[in-house]
Amino acid sequence: MDEIPERLTAKPSWLINQLSVHARRLVAEGFAAAGARGYHYRVLAALHEFGPASQAEIGRRCHIDRSDMVAAVNELVEQGFVDRAPDPEHGRRNRVTLTGDGLRQLRRMDEVLDRVQDDLLQPLSAEERRTLTRLLGRVLAHHQPE
């Protein structure tokens, strides 16, 4: 294997970027094998944690663009993982609700992500994994708009 310049490997930004590419591939492959996509997981997770919501609210919570959000919800409705109905409190808005099949799919996707985390972080101990997660969360929180 060709050596990588130390100027790169000494930069956390470069390392994070390289690992991100690898992580995205692992997640995409795992979700594809489960017949799902990353947007599906985000939507199902938000509905499970926060309850029924408008498509716009889910999109904001999950950082999903409006057009991608519509496509994801359409796919989830077709698969029976969510229900979409007019919001009785706001006539022009749709309210999205998690179904029992959607909860089962979310659990399958959780299992996929657990395997991906194990594969991705295999060289780290459980304590190192918790530390890495905490530190990455702290750095990300610092850069999030308030």
The domain spans of the chain are: 6-143
Judged against a pLDDT cut of 70, whether residue 1 lies above it is answered with: no
pLDDT tens digits along 10-50: 999 999 999 999 999 999 999 999 889 999 999 999 999 99
**Cα(39)–Cα(33) distance, integer angstroms:** 15
- pTM of the full structure: 0.87
To the nearest whole percent, how much of the chain has pLDDT over 70?
A: 99
pLDDT tens digits along 48-64: 999 999 999 999 999 99
pLDDT tens digits along 3-13: 989 999 899 99
pLDDT band (50, 70, 90) for residue 72: very high
Q: How far apart, in Å, do the first and last CA atoms of the chain sit?
A: 43
pLDDT band (50, 70, 90) for residue 93: confident
Q: Residue 2 CB: number of other CB atoms within 10 A?
A: 3
Strand, coil or helix: what is 53?
strand
State residue 83's pLDDT score.
Answer: 97
Give the residue among 124, 131, 52, 37 at the shortest CA–CA distance from 87: 52
CA distances from 124 to 9, 15, 127 (A): 18, 16, 8
Q: Does CATH place domain 6-143 in 3.40.50.300?
A: no
The residue to which tokens 């390392």 are assigned: 15
